[in-house]
Amino acid sequence: MKFMSAQLKLNKRSGKSIFQFVLVLFILLYAVQVSLAGIFSYRDEKGVVHFTDDISNIPKQYRESKEGVRKHREGRGAHRADPAPPKPIELPGSFASHQEIQIPLIPVSGGNFLVDTVLDGRVKARLMLDTGASFITLTEEIGRKLGVATYSDSAELPFNTAGGEEWMPVIALSKVSIGTATTQLVEASINSHIKGIDGLLGMSFLGDFRFEIDRTNKLLTLKPSQKPAELAWEGKSGNWWKSRFEHYDATISSYSARAAFLQRRGHEKALNMQKTVDFYKTLRQKLTTRASISGLPVNFRSSQ
């Protein structure tokens, strides 16, 4: 009986040990499972990262891809959630039309051509095509129709003419249209010596386009300056905007230095030149306002 009692005690102890061993093994396995638990992620063909806590939810092609599936460890008690994919960054621009615009040319003597133009949306003018002119140049009569008033202290610039250097008033046309081609904030000058035509169509308008002159068929073809599939703001590419800001900044700097020089010399046109500096500062401010309204990214708004 004593032998059987000892055997029973031994069996109980052995059973208890086995139970404890199994319990410890279960705890260890559970701990390992918890330590390896986590969420999985993969990136789809659009670059969007997806998260899941079940690897079987990941499409087969991503599980077998070279990049594989990434496992993220998570601590005990962590809250699992599939975060929403980040929203793509969108620029508030649009894709501009790349349709060419053909304008009929009106031949005149000397192999020149006239172009029917609308200024500020209300004044019609027949301007001579002149790719050698920096600005649109208008007669005083057209200036009066536009309501332009010039004074002795108006903004003026010196131009080289056949008769030598001549100072002419400069103005900004809010809009210039030829056919369906339109551009805004166009620099122009007023010339009191132009007769027989309404003025010259210069590069302050033409420079906004890529253009071709077909003398045989008497056509002016205007093409957008931006490349195909390039984002545009107000129909103009980011590079166009940056170039325009650079033009205004360089002009303000150059004319400011010239105004200071003329003032030191006591030149009679020193005040006019300073007015021209103010004129370009106003143009730049208007361009900045347009850029803000159109949503133009900041990196296109500075010449720096």
101-104 sheet: strands from edge to edge = 101-104, 219-224, 209-214
Q: Has residue 78 got a pLDDT over 50?
A: no
| pLDDT for the residue numbered 153 | 83
| pLDDT for the residue numbered 273 | 97
Provide the 3-class DSSP secondary structure of residue 230: coil
Q: For 202-258, what is each residue's pLDDT tens digit?
A: 999 999 998 999 999 999 999 887 777 778 888 888 989 999 999 999 999 999 999
Q: For 99-111, what is each residue's pLDDT tens digit?
A: 788 999 999 988 9
Q: What is the pTM of this model?
A: 0.65
**Amino acid found at 15:** G
Question: How far apart (Å, rounded) are the C-alpha atoms in residues 261 and 31?
Answer: 83
Of the listed ranges 16-20, 227-231, 258-262, the least confidently predicted one is 16-20
What is the average per-residue pLDDT within 32-47?
A: 53
pLDDT band at 49 (very low <50, low <70, confident <90, very high): low
- Report how far apart, in Å, the C-alpha atoms of 126 and of each of 120, 199, 215, 296 are: 14, 7, 18, 34
Query: Cα Rg for the chain, rounded, in angstroms?
Result: 38
Provide the 3-class DSSP secondary structure of residue 154: coil
| pLDDT for the residue numbered 160 | 80
